[in-house]
Amino acid sequence: MATATNRKRDAKNGTQFASFDLDPRVLAELAALGYEEPTPVQREAIPPLLAGRDLLGQAATGTGKTAAFALPLLQRLTPDAPARERTVALILVPTRELAMQVAEAVHRYGRALGVQVLPIYGGASMETQLRALKRGVDVVVATPGRALDHIRRKTLRLQNVRVLVLDEADEMLDMGFAEDLEAIIAATPAERQTALFSATLPPRISAIAAAHLRDPVHVRIDREMVPAGNAPKVRQVAYIVSRAHKKATLGRILDIESPVATIVFCRTRTEVDELTEMLNGRGVRAEALHGGLSQDQRDRVMKRFRAHTTDLLIATDVAARGLDVPHVSHVINYDVPSAAEAYVHRIGRTGRARREGVAITLAEPRERGLLRNIERLTTQRIEIATVPTVADLRAHRLEQTRDELRATILAGDLDAYRAVAESLMAEFDPLDVAAAALKLGGGRDGVVAEEEIPIVATRETGRGARPTREAGPGARGSRRRKDRPGSGALARLYIGAGRKAKVRAADVVGAIANEAGIDAGAIGAVRITDRYSLVEVPEEIADDVIAALQATTIKGKRVQVRRDRDGG
């Protein structure tokens, strides 16, 4: 228990984490990141984890559980150990997005300790991961499939692991990773410390806890509710779009919306840098704001944004803490925040000073559930809209040209151009001359080069909705949902490995969900034969799935993946 003196000291240092007896360098890093007060799950979980106890945590995403397990495991680092014996912590997560997110958080918290963190997931370069593992890493954050891949190759050695974390365990089971989890747990030392976090505790999770946790401390944290009406009164819109078309969609939306001042929120600093470069290449004045910048650099970026010399601010949540700019007209979530509270905080940066604000979210098909969570929390509806088409963009740009022409006419000072206009009108119909001017003015911006962005269906009945297909014969029960992407058309894919390669339906579903980044519920029927497997996926993402699977391995081997020649 922290004493009064400690509490005063903590308040002075800008953080109350010092009561946990963490490494002073970690405490300084937390203070620099703006962490002030532990969340409920951190208050409940950090002390027993520091004491070496196993822990069973029931906590939803967005409650602060990453710091709850990451901060204690930093105390276990052994930086002087030989490379092959250096890995002391393994964190298993269901998706590559979460792997990157957790790895970045662990790196951020332990930066002053020199912690080496490696995210391992399918779809990334195996050679890069092999080199990093050979050099030695302290913490591995992995999806189950790729972790098992490395274990079988003997490139991920777990004999010195002292901490095992199963994050979002219910999601991993839903994705078919139960057998993989058992195999990975069996490869870790029996005397390890284990922390299992899950949003729900169904019997399957309780069974894993009973089998692999020793006298665990049970922590249950309910999500903190935001009072109704606390979300800002702004126009809230979401576009359902595949990962491959996110950048193009962002550019299209910025063209259509023509915002005055915009903040684009991203999950990682890598995304921030990539988007900043892309948008500057399109002629937009964009600035990056993330934890990799010095304080002087941040101050200069904010000064330019406040002075309207920068159109867009591309930022991470951490870097944007405390940001207060009254003239922000638009907030764009490049990714759906995993915590509904983070969404409320993000969009609260627009619609200020009685101005009208706009909050736009780019959501992948598998993220619809997060949107529904946000709607429940805020009691406000998020409109699902279709991505503007090339025709929409052309019409918008022509409208802009019309407005510019009108303003030019009203401004006068056209004498220098009248002689050319009169000579053309003497030769052609005046309406044709005006139309040609519009064509010239609206055609210089490359509209013709724009490509259509595929429409992803939604369950909404409003604009942009398409009918969805009910689960038919051969669907796999709970894995098949009505809100699957697409218009109902299915493509059947051939995967050149089957029962003889020990491939199971769960391997196929898990690989597609994890590597292609789609909801497992969008995957159709799976058929496993001795030598090959067949799987149904929505037609509009079939090529993305093929590309993702060709870039990874199934059961440790690269396999042929293509459209089935005999099927739809």
Per DSSP, 363 falls in state E
Full-model pTM:
0.48
Residues 214 and 248 in one domain: no
Q: What is the DSSP string of 518-546?
A: --GGG---EEE-SS-EEEEEEGGGHHHHH
Whole-angstrom distance, CA of residue 369 vs CA of residue 222: 18
With 0-12 / 13-18 / 19 or more C-beta atoms within 10 angstroms meaning exposed / middle / buried, residue 458 is buried
For the chain, what is the domain count?
4
**Pair (295, 185) in one structural domain:** no
> Are residue 309 and residue 408 in the same domain, yes or no?
no
Question: Residue 322: its pLDDT value, please?
Answer: 55
| Separation CA 248–CA 239 (nearest Å) | 12
CATH of the domain at 188: 3.40.50.300
Per-residue pLDDT tens listing for the chain (568 residues): 333 334 334 433 334 788 888 999 999 888 877 676 788 889 999 999 999 999 999 987 667 789 999 999 999 887 777 777 789 999 999 888 788 889 988 998 999 999 999 999 887 788 888 999 998 899 999 999 999 999 999 999 999 999 999 998 988 887 788 899 999 999 999 999 999 999 888 888 999 999 999 999 999 986 554 444 444 467 899 998 888 888 888 988 888 887 878 999 988 888 888 899 988 888 888 899 887 777 788 888 888 888 888 888 998 876 666 566 767 889 999 988 766 777 887 887 776 655 678 899 998 887 777 888 788 777 788 888 888 877 777 777 777 777 777 778 887 888 888 888 888 888 888 888 888 877 776 554 444 446 677 666 444 433 333 333 233 333 333 333 333 344 457 888 999 998 888 888 878 887 887 777 776 667 877 888 888 898 888 888 888 889 888 888 888 788 899 998 764 4
- Domain with 278, as residue range(s), is 235-385
Both 200 and 271 in one domain: the answer is no
| Same domain assignment for residues 556 and 419 | no
The confidence score (pLDDT) of residue 264 equals: 92
Listed residues 159, 193, 221: the one ending a domain:
221
What is the pLDDT at residue 387? 83
Nearest to 146 by CA among 192, 97, 184: 184
- Identify whether the C-beta of residue 301 lies closer than 8 Å to the C-beta of residue 288: yes
- 462 belongs to a structural domain: no
Looking at the domain assignment, is residue 140 inside a domain?
A: yes
Kindly state whether residues 491 and 544 are assigned to the same domain.
Answer: yes
Q: Which residue has the tokens 């207060």?
A: 324
pLDDT in the model for residue 260: 77
| 175 lies in the same domain as 140 | yes
Amino acid 532 reads Y
Q: Indicate which CATH number applies to the domain containing 521.
A: 3.30.70.330
161-191: b or e for each residue (b if 16 or more CB lie within 10 Å)?
bbbbbbbbbbbbbbbbbbebbeebbebbeee
Report strand pairing: 55-59 vs 533-538.
unpaired
Sign of dihedral through CA atoms 58, 63, 66, 68? negative
Same domain, 263 and 135: no
pLDDT at 233: 63
Residues in a beta bridge with 195: 55, 165
Q: Which of 333, 353, 385 is the last residue of a domain?
A: 385
On whether residue 463 sits in a domain, the answer given is no
Together in a domain, 363 and 406: no
Q: 177 and 184 in contact (C-beta within 8 Å)? A: no
Dist CA 305 CA 285 (whole Å) = 10
Q: Are 150 and 133 in contact (CB under 8 A)?
A: yes
**Is residue 114 included in any domain, yes or no?**
yes
Answer yes or no: is 30 within a domain: no
Strand partners for 526: 535
pLDDT at 217: 96
pLDDT at 380: 83
Task: Count Cα neighbours of 113 within 13 Å in the Cβ-side half-sphere.
Answer: 28
Residue 96 lies in a domain: yes
CB 144 within 8 A of CB 510: yes
Whether residues 284 and 426 fall in one domain: no
Answer yes or no: do 269 and 199 share one domain: no
Cβ 90 vs Cβ 166: under 8 Å: no
Is the residue at 11 inside a domain?
A: no
Instruction: List residues bridging with 288 in a β-sheet.
Output: 314
Q: How far apart are CA 564 and CA 489, in angstroms?
A: 15
368-378 and 340-347 helices, crossing angle to 10°: 70
Angle between helices 430-442 and 390-411 (to 10 degrees): 120
**Listed residues 162, 195, 221: the one ending a domain:** 221
Looking at the structure, do residues 299 and 414 belong to the same domain, yes or no? no
pLDDT of residue 255: 83
In a domain, 126, yes or no: yes
| C-alpha distance across the termini of the chain, in Å | 64
Answer yes or no: are the C-beta atoms of 140 and 87 closer than 8 Å: yes
In whole angstroms, what is the distance from residue 386 CA to residue 375 CA? 19
Q: Which of 30, 35, 32, 23 is nearest to 75 (CA)?
A: 23
